[in-house]
Amino acid sequence: MTALVFPALAFPAPRRALGLALLLAVGVFALLGPLHGLDPLRQDLSATLLPPGSAGHPLGTDHLGRDLLARLAHAARLSLGSALATALVAAVAGTLLGLLAALRGGLAERGLLALADAVQAVPALLLVLLFAAFAPGGFLALYLGLSLTLWVEFFRLARSAALSVLARPQVEAARLLGFGTGHILRRHLWPEVAPVVLTLFAFAAGTAVTSISALAFIGVALRPPTPEWGGMMTELLPFYAEAPLALLMPAGLIFLTVLGLHLLAGKEQAA
Amino acid sequence: MLHRRDFLAGLAGLAALGHGRGALAQAGTSAGAGAAIFRVVTPYEINGLDPVRSGFVFTRLQIAETLLGADDGGRPVPQLATAWSLSEDRLRWRFTLRPAARFHDGTPVTATAVAACLERARALPGVLINAPIARITAEEDTVVIQTTRPFASMPAFVAHSSTMILAPAAFEGETVRAILGTGPYRVAEMVLPQRVDAVRFEGWDGPAPAVERLSYLAAGRGETRGTMAESGQAEMVCQLAPETVDRLRRNPRVQVVVQAIPRTRLIKLNCGSPLFSDARARRALSLALDRAGMARALLRSAPSAATQLFPASMAEWHVPSLAPLERNLEEARRLLGELGWQPGAEGILAREGRPFRFTLRTFSDRPELPVLATAMQSQLREIGVDMQIAIVNSGEIPAGHQDGTLEAALLARNFALVPDPLGTLLLDFGPKGGDWGAMNWSSPELVAVMEKLGGTADPAERAALRGRAATILHEEMPVIPVSWFDQSTAISRRVAHLTVDPLELSYRIAGARWAS
Amino acid sequence: MRALSPLLRLLGGRLAQAGLVALLVGSACFLMVRTLPGDMAYRIAASRYGYDLVDTAAARAVHAELGLDRPWYVQLAGWFGDLARLDLGTSLASGEKVLEKLGIELGHTLLLAGVALALSALIGLPLGALAGLRAGSALDRAALVGAAALRAVPSFVLGVGLMILLAAEWNLLPAGGVGEWEEVILPALTLALGLAAASSRVTRDAVAAVVASPFFGFARAKGLGDGLAFRRHGVRNAAIPVVSYLTLQMVLLVEGVVVVEALFAWPGIGHALVHAVLGRDIPVVQGAALVMGLLFVLLNTAADLACWSLDPRRRA
């Protein structure tokens, strides 16, 4: 459930443009897909599991005869929105605490480290399951639970990056010259920490989507009939033989999103 | 495939990790080692050893036995008891035990041991607790059950898996520590909650089964079971998902047996709610359901669309003359209009400013239930009814029944919980309703009919009473029938003479043979 | 002796962490599960007797049997007392001893995880090293796209895909079950592909960093070939981040097995934890969380020790 750290890659310059293009494509799909006018909830039991290219259903239909294009596009909003929000909450909280620990040191740092150790040792799955059980069918509690498991990595990464920056001679010089914490944060820390945090963020967001689908698979995070990428894959799994494309379409969108975020955010990182 | 065990023994380190205890000790020492294994795959995990919890696994595998069994029609047949009789006053049931029967630890089966086992079952939640039993005693080779009032369904109750008989040595205090049954197979190895291996019991007093070894595996996912059937990795795969049935029918390696069983998927309604207190409102919801569409597209079996509560396969209870349940949106709207419901905001019906909105609870232990609920949500929306779905732990349905918070629930009810459906009906439609049956609804006439049934032996009179009970439930509709059950089982062509039990009491492996 | 004292400090720190975990997991699980919505006795009765038999009588029996009326602090104190004696209680749902049950299930999970890790190392490490030695090449980019694709596909979709291919189509491996050695391969492979996706990237970066470093350039300038230079000077340096990462993976793995265990009918600890949370089986929830938490600490300690022995600088 924890985000996997993909250290950034040395892709040539156009990779950012490529990443941006991928994300824009997914974004345009989320915005324009619904304009094609079909209701993502409208069922037709006489037209189930139609293949892509069927009349009136460019991407086909699911097991209840609902239009897949409409569902994927509507799901994009919820999945992207909530995944980004989850990752954002974790990133902001984790990074701030990490910087705080690095700057303050002492008791605050040791306390936060112990907390991070302890949270990380509690199975993330347990935390998410408990949050999910608190609010059956509620996505908010679920994403909050996920954030709670994701912040630790941001914390550790931000702290270690900040520590290495703070140890540099030019930072010590800036301190001696009387520059405040704000200046050091802006001029020295942020430029170093931001790319690392952004890379992690890309994968935390992807992890949030796939984690939700895993939870849906074990019967926790389903709330019919709301379309959501992870939940759609769970719903369509039994029909893997009849409609393999329908099952792979949400996965394809997650893939494009993760890859796009990664290409956009990544920068050479000292591992 | 045959010598995996030897290989396993070689990999001692890994195997010890994988099995905890047990596997190595058993490897190669089992009776009949080397014989072909009959592999059964079902969705049911083995949740502990207590007969109340998982007795059904051991009775179905014919490892343990109950006093009586039942044939396909639900009529009692001998099992551990060879004969049974009822006294003149109809209060004393006598069950004569099979004289040569032995427990798997080699000790002979005594009436005292059997009576003690039944007494224990009676104290635990199960079915026996619901029977009017006064006393269970042992008299020589006979077990005597004394009831407080005439109770015609007793033979059906002692056929339930929670009443299976284990040897005294199986118990440690009140806890079951081993499965020492009396059946033709005995346990060789267990990996809870997933697997049981069994071998032929040499002390079995009947004809030796042709199949020497069997292995039971619980695989919760339909996809996994489907693949195992498809690739010939199991001799018998139970509870096939509807999606896999068509594909398996085209597979030359297996035979697919589809059989109607006495189970119905139904909507339980809180009839105390102002939404559903009028029978017309309940009928309107029923008229909105597209049963045929769901049966065809989701259950992949057109005949499983329910036309009344009891499936056609329950010949004694099914009443062919009842008007079949059908979809009629006009009539549904008319009925709701009669009750004062008018179209309101966003097309949702409203009455006195309150929308027609409720939450339906269902659970995913049966994977088709959430899908059916989603389909019905959209169908009800067409008549302006807003149904929300909550997927919960199955325990929250009876809990909601008790604390009154339940509005509606979609569930699957087994009428052959004991082979005589009356046992289930008494639980569900008694004067106070039932956790899995009516809620805040009762019919004095139905209660009277069921009481009469319990004490009547005359076949003609019983048939008339059953018909009356089915008719009352059809007209009043305290629960809305949705679909009947088709049980699909895949059986390998390697196996011959294997029939599928419609009452799910036994896998009948002891009667099977290997195809030559 | 001088080398030993940082080691002792390291071990002492990990021991303290273990204690903290036990305390935190125990009380947090207990409090959270206690305050969850839904009647606990019904949930327990449902997992104990199944949906055909769970009813009010069953729930009442559960309620009385478990003493759910006792104040929460009495129940919690009882649990910690038992824990101190290494008695994790009995499962509310099945009546089995939690320690015995978890021991067996943990064994299954570790077997699965171990095989998965070995497979992922076989797939991920060579691929990552190759990509790292040729950073920026077509192979490098293809490996990235492949890794992102594997991460985007949830493990149950991957698992079903492998099942169709290897079990149904080619009939090479059994689709489910436990006990025979072939049965571990398919679930382990499902896990391993996801793991290899990540570990190949970490390896690639570590290798790329080594290749770009001055000492490696010097080794090559000495006239050693690429391969030899890497074997002599690169492996040890590249191994440090990879080892720390692999142990982190192990923990993710133990949790990631939940889905795979459910799919392949594998009776492991993740499977048990899900059932226990859904069924309110507190002793099992606590026991499983505790075992997994302590495992995390143990693996971290192992990683510390591995890095300590790989990197002489840390012993100073």
Write down the ipTM of this complex.
Answer: 0.79
**Residues A223, B389: C-beta atoms closer than 8 Å:** yes
The pLDDT assigned to B468 comes to: 95
Supply the DSSP symbol for B106.
S
E-only strand ranges, B48-156: 68-70, 76-78, 81-86, 92-97, 133-139, 142-147
C 203-222: CB under 8 A from A = 204-206, 208-209
- Which range, A170-174, A200-204, B164-168, C58-62, is most confident? B164-168
**3-state secondary structure labels for all residues of chain C:** CCCHHHHHHHHHHHHHHHHHHHHHHHHHHHHHHHHCCCCHHHHHHHHHHCCCCCCHHHHHHHHHHHCCCCCHHHHHHHHHHHHHCCCCCECCCCCCEHHHHHHHHHHHHHHHHHHHHHHHHHHHHHHHHHHHHCCCCHHHHHHHHHHHHHHHCCHHHHHHHHHHHHHHHCCCCCCCCCCCHHHHHHHHHHHHHHHHHHHHHHHHHHHHHHHHCHHHHHHHHCCCCHHHHHHHHHHHHHHHHHHHHHHHHHHHHHHHHHHHHHHCCCCCHHHHHHHHHHHCCHHHHHHHHHHHHHHHHHHHHHHHHHHHHHCHHHHC
The pLDDT assigned to B454 comes to: 79
Q: Does C37 touch chain B (CB under 8 A)?
A: no
The pLDDT assigned to C117 comes to: 85
**Residues A63, B298: C-beta atoms closer than 8 Å:** yes
Q: How far apart are CA A129 and CA C275, in angstroms?
A: 11
Q: Does A245 touch chain C (CB under 8 A)?
A: no
State pTM to two decimals. Answer: 0.83
The pLDDT assigned to B365 comes to: 80
- Sorted by where each begins, the domain ranges of chain A are 14-29+68-265
- pLDDT above 80 (res B310): yes
Percent of chain A with pLDDT over 70: 87
- pLDDT above 80 (res B437): yes
Which chain B residue shows the shortest CA-CA distance from C164?
A: B227
Identify the residue with better confidence: A13 or C61. C61
**Residues B364, A222: C-beta atoms closer than 8 Å:** yes
* Chain A interface, best mutation among C33, C120, C277, C298, by max A CB count within 10 A: C277
Q: Does A137 touch chain C (CB under 8 A)?
A: no
Instruction: Pick the range with the lowest mean pLDDT from B92-96, B331-335, C2-6.
Output: C2-6
Provide the shortest C-alpha distance from residue C27 to chain A (in Å).
12
Instruction: Pick the range with the lowest mean pLDDT from A51-65, B112-126, B498-512, C200-214.
Output: C200-214
Q: How far apart are CA C68 and CA A121, in angstroms?
A: 29
**pLDDT tens, position by position, B365-424:** 888 999 999 999 999 999 999 999 988 878 788 888 888 889 999 999 988 877 778 888
Identify the residue with better confidence: C230 or B412. B412
**3-state secondary structure labels for all residues of chain A:** CCCCCCCCCCCCCHHHHHHHHHHHHHHHHHHHHHHHCCCCCCCCCCCCCCCCCECCECCCECCCCCEHHHHHHHHHHHHHHHHHHHHHHHHHHHHHHHHHHHHHCHHHHHHHHHHHHHHHHCCHHHHHHHHHHHCCCCHHHHHHHHHHHHHHHHHHHHHHHHHHHHCCHHHHHHHHCCCCHHHHHHHHHHHHHHHHHHHHHHHHHHHHHHHHHHHHHCCCCCCCCCCCHHHHHHHHHHHCCCCHHHHHHHHHHHHHHHHHHHHHHCCCCCC
Provide the shortest C-alpha distance from residue B344 to chain C (in Å).
33
Instruction: Pick the range with the lowest mean pLDDT from A170-179, B334-343, B399-408, C89-98.
Output: C89-98
Across chain B, what does the average pLDDT equal? 88
Q: What is the mean pLDDT of residues B335-358?
A: 93
Identify the residue with better confidence: A203 or C250. A203
Q: Does B218 touch chain C (CB under 8 A)?
A: yes
The pLDDT assigned to C232 comes to: 67
Q: Does B192 touch chain C (CB under 8 A)?
A: yes
Which one of B23, B129, B394 has the shortest CB-CB distance to C57? B129
The pLDDT assigned to C250 comes to: 63
Instruction: Pick the range with the lowest mean pLDDT from A28-37, B1-10, C177-186.
Output: B1-10
Least Cα distance to A117 among C304, C32, C256 occurs for C304
Provide the shortest C-alpha distance from residue C148 to chain A (in Å).
6
Q: At what angle do helices A139-166 and A124-134 cross, to 10 degrees?
A: 140
- Sorted by where each begins, the domain ranges of chain C are 111-266+273-278+296-315
Q: What is the mean pLDDT of residues C207-212?
A: 78
The pLDDT assigned to B435 comes to: 85
**pLDDT tens, position by position, A55-81:** 888 899 999 999 999 999 988 888 888
Q: Does C161 touch chain B (CB under 8 A)?
A: no
- CATH hierarchy code of domain B1-63+183-253+493-516: 3.40.190.10
Residues of C in contact with B233 (CB under 8 A): 167, 174-175, 177
* Chain A interface, best mutation among C44, C258, C263, by max A CB count within 10 A: C258
Which strand (E) or helix (H) includes residue B264? strand B254-269
Homologous superfamily of B64-176 in CATH? Dipeptide-binding Protein; Domain 1 (3.90.76.10)
Identify the residue with better confidence: C51 or C45. C45
- pLDDT above 90 (res A23): no
Which one of B244, B290, B373 has the shortest CB-CB distance to A224? B373
- pLDDT above 60 (res B26): no
Identify the residue with better confidence: A125 or C200. C200
Which chain B residue shows the shortest CA-CA distance from A243?
A: B243
The pLDDT assigned to A175 comes to: 80
Provide the shortest C-alpha distance from residue B52 to chain A (in Å).
25
Q: How many CB atoms lie within 10 A of CB B354?
A: 12
The pLDDT assigned to B6 comes to: 39
- pLDDT above 80 (res B63): yes
- Which range, A102-106, C29-33, C189-193, is most confident? C189-193
Q: What is the mean pLDDT of residues A260-271?
A: 56
* Chain A interface, best mutation among B248, B380, B391, by max A CB count within 10 A: B391
Which chain A residue shows the shortest CA-CA distance from B360?
A: A224
Least Cα distance to C139 among C151, C126, C152, C150 occurs for C126
The pLDDT assigned to A2 comes to: 36
Provide the shortest C-alpha distance from residue C12 to chain B (in Å).
29
C 191-250: CB under 8 A from B = none
Q: Does C55 touch chain B (CB under 8 A)?
A: yes
**pLDDT tens, position by position, C113-162:** 889 888 988 998 888 888 888 877 888 888 888 887 887 777 888 888 88
The pLDDT assigned to C147 comes to: 82
Q: Does B223 touch chain C (CB under 8 A)?
A: yes
Provide the shortest C-alpha distance from residue C51 to chain B (in Å).
6
Residues of C in contact with A254 (CB under 8 A): 152-153
Which strand (E) or helix (H) includes residue B292? helix B291-297
- CATH hierarchy code of domain A14-29+68-265: 1.10.3720.10
- Binding partners of A (≥3 Cβ pairs within 8 A): B, C
- pLDDT above 70 (res C165): yes
Q: Which CATH class is domain C111-266+273-278+296-315?
A: mainly alpha
- pLDDT above 80 (res A5): no
Instruction: Please report which confidence band the pLDDT of residue C295 belongs to, taking 50, 70 and 90 as the band edges.
Output: confident
- pLDDT above 70 (res A174): yes
E-only strand ranges, B123-184: 133-139, 142-147, 171-172, 175-176
Percent of chain A with pLDDT over 90: 11
**Residues B243, A242: C-beta atoms closer than 8 Å:** yes
Instruction: Please report which confidence band the pLDDT of residue A134 belongs to, taking 50, 70 and 90 as the band edges.
Output: low
Report yes or no: C59 and C21 within 8 Å, Cβ to Cβ. no
Q: What is the mean pLDDT of residues C215-232?
A: 71
Homologous superfamily of B262-485 in CATH? Dipeptide-binding Protein; Domain 3 (3.10.105.10)
**Residues C39, B399: C-beta atoms closer than 8 Å:** yes
Q: How many CB atoms lie within 10 A of CB B391?
A: 21
Q: What is the mean pLDDT of residues B437-441?
A: 93
Q: Does C110 touch chain A (CB under 8 A)?
A: no
Identify the residue with better confidence: B322 or A148. B322
Q: How many CB atoms lie within 10 A of CB A189?
A: 21
Which chain C residue shows the shortest CA-CA distance from A209?
A: C152
